Each structure stands twice: as C-alpha cells, then as structure tokens.
Structure 1
Amino acid sequence: MTRLAAVGGLLLGGAMVTQAAMASEPPGTAAVPRSAAESVVTNPGAALVEKFGAARTAGTWLDSEGRPVVGVTDEKTAEAVRAAGAVAKVVSHSMNELKSATAALRSAPRVAGTAWVMDYRSNQIVVQGDSTVSSSDWSKLTRTAGGIGSFVRMERTTGTFTTRINGAQPILSTGGRCSAGFNVTNGTSDFILTAGHCGPTGSTWFADNQAKQQVGQTVNSNFPGSDFSLVQYASGKAGASADVVAIGNGNGVRITGTGDAAVGQRVFRSGSTSGLRDGEVTGLDATVNYPEGTVGGLIETNVCAEPGDSGGPMFSEGIALGITSGGSGDCKTGGQTFFQPVGDALNQLGVQLIVAAPSGNGQGGAPASSAEPAPAATNTQSAASPGSASPGSTTPVTGGGETATLASRLTDPKNIGPGLLVLAGSMVALVATRYIRAEQDRKAYQRYYSATWG
C-alpha cells in the first residue's frame, strides 16, 4: 500500500508541476497593436448624449457612486435618460450654448496664463487666470465673459500655467527632459507617444545624461494647437514589455486599451519627477493659453504634476487616457494638470497603441504585484513586474522586486514548488519501501536458511 501511495504521489506531483508550468505562461499578456476603434467606453452616458444631441443635453459625468449622469435641458429628455438606466439632471444651458461660449472666448484677444473648461456638473464655463495675468488683462477678459452670459464663471488661481517639460521613464535631449508616455506602432516601426512641447521634429533623445544611450528621434511633433509627438526608436522596436507603464519601485501597469476620459472618473498619472499620483477628471475640452501658445481639447484633472512629468501617461483600470501636457501648482500644495487625449493623438498620427492582449481577468492579463501601486491604488490597477525594457520605454528597467517569502512561493499553487515537494516526498517513500522490503526479505531468508540448515 505504501508503494502504491508513492507511485500515486509521483503521478500527482508530475501533474501539479505540468499545470504550474502551463499556468506560468502568460498567453494573454503578449503586447500587440490594437486600433483606436477598440477603445473602451468609460461612461455609458456618452452614448445618450450622442443620441439626444447637443441641443437637448449638456454633457455627462460620473457621480460619487460611479453612476452615469446626463445633463438635459427638458423633462422629456430626462425621462428618456432615466429609462435608459442613467441619472438625469435638468440644466439651464445646452451643450450648444456652452460651445458657443468657448468659441467667443477663443475669438477674444489671447491672454497667456488663462484657461477655460466646461464644468458639466455646474453647467458653467469656468475661466481661470494664473498669477501672471495682469489686472488689466483680467478685467478685459471679465468683460468679455460678462457679455457671453452669467453661466461663465471667473476664477483666479495662485499657480502658473506652464508646460511640464522635463517624465514615467525619463528621456533627455538638448531641449530638456521629458517622459516616455505610451508605446505605439505603425505596423513597421515602434514609437514613443509623448508631449509635443517636449521638442520639435528632429530632436534626438537619450536615456542617460552622457548622451551615450540613444533612444530615438522625434519624427512628428504637434504643438501648440495640440500637444503630442512621436519619438521613433533608434532600434525600430520598443522591446519587451512595451505594453507596461512604470509606476515606481520596479512595478508597472499593463495597458489593455484606449478610452475617452469621463468627468468624475478616478485616474492615475505617472511621471519621473513626482511618481505615481491619482485624482479625478474635473473637465473636458479645456483650452489653455500657455506662454508658448494655445492648446485646446485637453482633459482637466485635479491630479498634481511638476516639471519633469511632461509626456507621462494618464490611465485608469489599465486604459490609456492621456499624456501630460501642463498645469499649475505642485505635488506639495496641490494643483491641476491638463492632458492631451490619447485617442485624438492616435487618430491624427495614424498609429496604434501597443497594449496587452486581453485575458479573462479583465485586467490585461497582468497579475497584481505584492506591493499595491501607491498612492491609494486599488485592485483595479493591474500591477506587473515587467523586467527589462528598451531604453526610454515606459517599462521599468529593473526587476520587479520580489518580496514574497520562500515558504509562500513554495506553497503558491501557481508555482512548481508544491508539485516538486510531492514528487520528492513520493520518491523518498518509494525508495524507503524498497529498502524496507529488501530488509524484510533478507531477514526472512536468514530465518529460513537457519531453520533448514538446523
């Protein structure tokens, strides 16, 4: 019976090792290009806004419970929105009126240090002026806003609206330091998607201060107007783990697709200066008058950023949303940051995001690391330990920092340790039974021989 149990243990251990080896293969995490048409819907209310039109709606956002809310201008539309499963809020001004107001602001004389954004939740246009805007310029802009209507709100900010030049992995050139944002491809060559203000076409980027490790060269840059650029890898390829963005401490988040940001959505931003930070989307279609020029169509958030974070990735639930453009304040006192939407940049550049092939867990096939992505990261953020990466890519260039103990690794059913333990125990039991049986046979023979000889 012992020998039979040992043989059964060998079969069981072999099966466990085989299963663990197969489980260790990440079939759903291969980095592949995916088109913008496969973008993820982050707010179902967007479809209702499109259905009922800009004359009957005024934007959509997520409430504190994550439910889609749609601003509507009449009770009939409100009833239709509620019937579709969303929350309706009746407001005074339609999206057409809000867009008309922003058009009037764009036609006014440009004032550097100002910005405006549609605040869907308050049904207002918020015009902001930083500390560099003079009293006379602010008074002129206030008169322009007053002529538009009472739904235009004026606010002064204490910071300064600047591009965050100088990012998740740093890339450096003679023009300054920026971040690698997301890896993209045109099917032939791979590129880094980063901020356009980082440098003009022709800028050469390196991964070190000595300019010895060349990353690539900017081949397409758009700024002002928009704020995105393409850096073509010198090697032509992004390399391993091109679908991961760094979040610090050797960890990363696998990117599984693209999406449009939603007001009220919780988002994360990673940059080489201030690391991983989180916050909320506060506005869409923002316009910022940087000293270098005006950029429109931006995402406004209350996530902080600092010089050096430009071009860094913004994401949520593993979905790429934007790349860091600029903002005001810092990560000590707080501030606001504007992001270039990823989808718009991909469409205009004619490239595709390199993302992880989706798996059954909904998190891009990446297992959560033992350390949660700080700050306040939840299990919805797919942490990964991607290992080595090409210079300048958004993947950590060091190992993932394994913190699990030997005992926990051996007892983890996803590892081969338990199977090896069963195999070893079975082999010991089998050898022991053979030895015991041999000893029993030898003694029995001695007794028989002695009795026969006597």
Structure 2
Amino acid sequence: MSHKRMPKRKAAIAVGGVAALGAAALLLPNANASQDKDQASGTTGTAKTLKATQASNLAAQLQKALGGAFAGSYFDSGKQQLVVNVVSGDNNVIQQAKKAGAVVRQVKNSTSDLKAAAGTLKAKATIPGTSWAVDPRTDKVLVTADSTVTGAKWNRLQSTVQSLGSGMATLKKSAGSFKTFVAGGDAIFAQTQQGGVRCSLGFNVTASDGSPAFLTAGHCGVAAKDWSDSQNGQPIATVDQAKFPGNDFSLVKYNDKTTQTSSTVNAGNGQTVQITQAADATVGETVFRMGSTTGLHNGQVTGLDATVNFASETVPGGTDTVNGLIQTNVCAEAGDSGGSLFTQDGSAVGLTSGGSGDCTNGGETFFQPVTAALQATGATLGNGGNGGNAGNGAGDQSGSAAPSASAGDQSGAADPSASAGDQSGAGGDQIGGSADPSASASDQSGSGSDQSGAGSANDGSSLTSTR
C-alpha cells in the first residue's frame, strides 16, 4: 500500500496522514438530567443522563465512596447512564449511589472475587492465544481463546475456567489468532540487520525534559532504536524508552529539538480532531480507531485491565504476555496496525497492541492505555495533561458521531457502526504496520523487503490477524 511522505521534522505532526472518506457527522443532543426507571431494582430513581466523561468521573467518585461494596461500573450508551454494580445489600449504599445519579445494580461477584479469578487464570492458564478481562456488564471475567488454542491447551483452559465456579467467568472462541499489531499514526520506518521494519506513530507528546516526542508501540521500540519518516530515509527520532512485553509502549524523541508538532488526528476529508487530553477507557463507551487499510472505524470498549498472551516470535514456544490493556470490538486488519484509539471529544485513549479478526467478520482489538504510558514515561499530551479522568474516564463520545464533527458534545447512542465505521481509507493512522510486534528485530516479518505494504510480506499481514 502506498504512503504519504511527510516533510522532515514535521513528521507525524498529525496522527494520520492518508486521504480518506470522512465519516458522517451525527450531531446528537447534549446531556441533560432526566428521570429513569432503575432496571436493577425496579424503582424510580434520579438516574442522570451523562456523557461518557461525566460517567467516568462519577464512577471514580462512587468507587471511593462505596469502598468494598463497589463491584465495577459501565456506561449504558443507549440511555447515557452510568450503571454501578454493588455487592452489598446495605440500603444506605444503594441510596448513596442513586442520589449521585447512577443506576444501581446488585451483583454477586465482588471486585476482589473477579481479580482472584483473573489471578487463577494467570497461574494456571497462561497459554499463547488467550486473553481475559473483567466485564462489568456481565459481572464476570470474559475469557477468550483464539483459533490456535486446541487439544490439550483448550482442555486446560476450559477446566481452569470451570474450576472458578459457576457464574464467575465466560469462555468464548475467537475465529482469528492473537497477534500484536503496531501502534500509531503516520508511518515510521527503521532498518535492522534483518531488514526494514515499519511501524506507526501514535500521539505526539512532550517528554519530561521538554523535548518533542511521540508514543508508539513498545514492540516497535524494542525492535529498532532509530526511526525515520520515510522508507530508507535518515533517522529523525530515537527511542528513549520501550516496554514490551508486560506493557506495550515506547517514547521516541525527535532528534531535532525544534521539531514542531501538534496533537491532532486526521479524520479524513481534510478534517481533524484536536487531541486535548489523555483519558482512561470506560466499558460501554464508543471509541474510534483510524487505519489506512480499513479507514475510520468505531466500536465499544468491552473490557478493562485485559491480559493477552501472545505467542512469542522470539522465543520458540514462549509467551509474550501484556497486561492492563483495553479490550474493544473495534475491528482492525493487516496494515491497520497501531491506529490511535481516541474519543469524539478529543481524548487520546490507546495505542493499538494486537488482536484478531477483520472488518468483515469483526474481532477483538486490544490497546495499551495512553494514560499508563504517559505516567510511566513522564511525558505529557495535548494541553499538558498526562492523566486520565479519575475512575475510568473516557472521552465524551458515547455516541457514534464522527470524530471530525467538533465532537465534544456528541453524547448520543447511535450505532457506532453507522457513523464512521465504514469510512474506508479514513485514517492514515495505521499507515505502517509491519514491524514484528514481538519486539525483536529478527521478528520483523519479511527480510528487509519493502515494508510499505506494496505486495511485501511486511504490509502488516504477519503482524495482524487475518481470517
């Protein structure tokens, strides 16, 4: 696939640089307080209509206030309401949450129960091709096995899930296979002894020492140290920090400290979304991913603190485990490797780490939280904020309005696939995508062939999962 060459020292200024079909702008009503029926208890309570950011902040407040009674929360995008799980039957606890504006749902499994279940899975079922994440909507741990988990491995995983007890976890199969994607925006290139590699830029940031820099996937930073904005070009940036496995992020500093950057995402048709802050994800909210293969697609966050066990491409039979990821149902394909995950209101949420599936049949895609990467590296993003909203703060895009549409106020619940999901070619943000996510230069699929995707094995097909 072709790529747009960007001027030196202006590389990756905008996240995404490929011309694309713009997503339709769906301007949805602003949030207002309203009365709604509490689905869990059957009583009428003052359930506030909220934007995703507001719901995230409220969830954080209630988590502190409710203590051990708090068992997770999620954003009901259909009603724009925060649903809070509680395990205590204490009426005072329930009333406290209701008065704050949340819908209260009494559940069986506590947060500690679910974390213990995840701990058991880690100890007994760390198998390549598996993942698990807490799903507050079902009050269970969602365990996923890809197509490579068969025979004795499947039996081991299944028996481990069953040992957790009834109502504690759900096990499902994924048609694809989990492979690391590449995080980013505009294409960036590097040369190794094994040949050329290609990744993508995530978000521009300012390093703790004031230097201009950008975030990308950790497996890119481990694969190569020096990066260029053009294939076979001179390096313009050098890896400062790289973490993979365990986490999946890199901080890469521009060599020219006068490099001018801006925090924007290309939404196609010449439209951009200004990135103003980093935000934590909220289960149930709508998020957007940009990609040069499939364009602009959106979907929902389906789980938090996900653990993914990738088959190691550097250690035969080994496992590269990444923790703390955001799980989504946003699709991705080869060449979409690494797209920036962001919200309609301009919040940077994630860097693509890996997943399975495609944009015809769907699948799972996992993202490294931007907030964690910023905290670990000491970098700042956008207006200088390097933390997310307390709680699970996500962007305010609970609806599916196209990110290009001045979107801070789009709080509707339209089907995310209806607005921008099918905007082919929209994003440029995944232009790259061939560096072997498993982090070793030897894994950069392809032996030095053109990583730009023009018929080479390095167009992302070896890193992303296809059906």
Relative to the length of structure 2, the TM-score reads 0.66
Give the counterpart letter for 2:304 in structure 1. L
The DSSP-based 3-state class of the residue aligned with 1:275 is coil
Shift of 1:172: 1.7
Does structure 1 residue 168 correspond to structure 2 residue 195?
no
Cα gap change, 1:75/1:166 in structure 2, threshold over 3 Å: closer, same or farther?
Answer: closer
- Pick closer, same or farther for the CA change 1:262–1:245 going to 2, 3 Å: same
Q: 1:168 to 1:202 in 2, by over 3 A?
A: closer
Give the stretch that moved more between structures: 252-261 or 268-277: 268-277
Pair 1:309-2:336 in alignment: yes
Deviations 1:30-89 (A, max 9, x none): x9xxxxxxxx66512222123212x31211111122111101112322222112111101
What are structure 2's unaligned runs of at least 5 residues? 1-13, 15-52, 313-319, 386-399, 411-427, 432-467
Q: Offset at 1:394?
A: 7.2
3-state SS of the aligned residue for 2:365?
strand
Aligned to 1:221: 242
Deviations 1:105-157 (A, max 9, x none): 11115210000111100001111100011221011111112112221111111
Matched residue SS, 1:165: coil
2:267 corresponds to: 247
- Residue type of the partner of 1:271? G
**What is the rounded CA distance, in whole Å, between the counterparts of 2:405 and 2:71 in structure 1?**
31
Ranked by relative contact order (alpha carbons within 8 Å, sequence separation 6 or more), the top structure is 2
- CA distance in 1 between partners of 2:219 and 2:63 (Å): 33
Q: 1:247 to 1:213 in 2, by over 3 A?
A: farther
Give the equivalent residue in structure 1 for 2:71: 58
CA drift of 1:199 comes to 3.4
- The 5 Å alignment of 1:2-401 reads 43=56, 44-53=58-67, 55-63=68-76, 64-76=78-90, 77-150=93-166, 151-165=168-182, 167-174=184-191, 176-185=197-206, 186-200=208-222, 203-209=225-231, 211-240=232-261, 242-292=262-312, 293-316=320-343, 317-355=345-383, 378-380=405-407
Q: Which has the larger radius of gyration?
A: 1
Give the TM-score, by structure 1 length: 0.68
Shift of 1:237: 4.3
Whole-angstrom CA distance in 2 between matches of 1:42 and 1:314: 19
CA offset digits 1:357-391 (Å, max 9, x no partner): 9xxxxxxxxxxxxxxx99686541699xxxxxxxx
Structure 1 counterpart of 2:79, one-letter code = E
Q: Cα 1:395–1:299, aligned 2, differ >3 Å: closer, same or farther?
A: closer
Aligned partners of 2:112 and 2:95: how far apart in 1? 21
| Backbone CA RMSD of aligned residues | 2.7
| 8 Å CA contact retained: 2:288, 2:298 | yes
Deviation at 1:183, TM superposition (A): 0.8
Cα separation, 2, equivalents of 1:105 and 1:237: 48
| Shift in alpha-carbon separation, 1:237–1:110, aligned structure 2, 3 A | farther
The amino acid across from 1:260 in the alignment is D
- Which residues of structure 1 form unaligned runs of 5+? 1-30, 32-39, 358-372, 384-392, 397-454
As a proportion of its length, which structure holds more helix? Answer: 1
Report the AA paired with residue 230 of structure 2: D
Cα deviation digits, residues 212-244 of structure 1 (max 9, x gap) = 25331222110000110011112124414x111
Aligned residues: 331
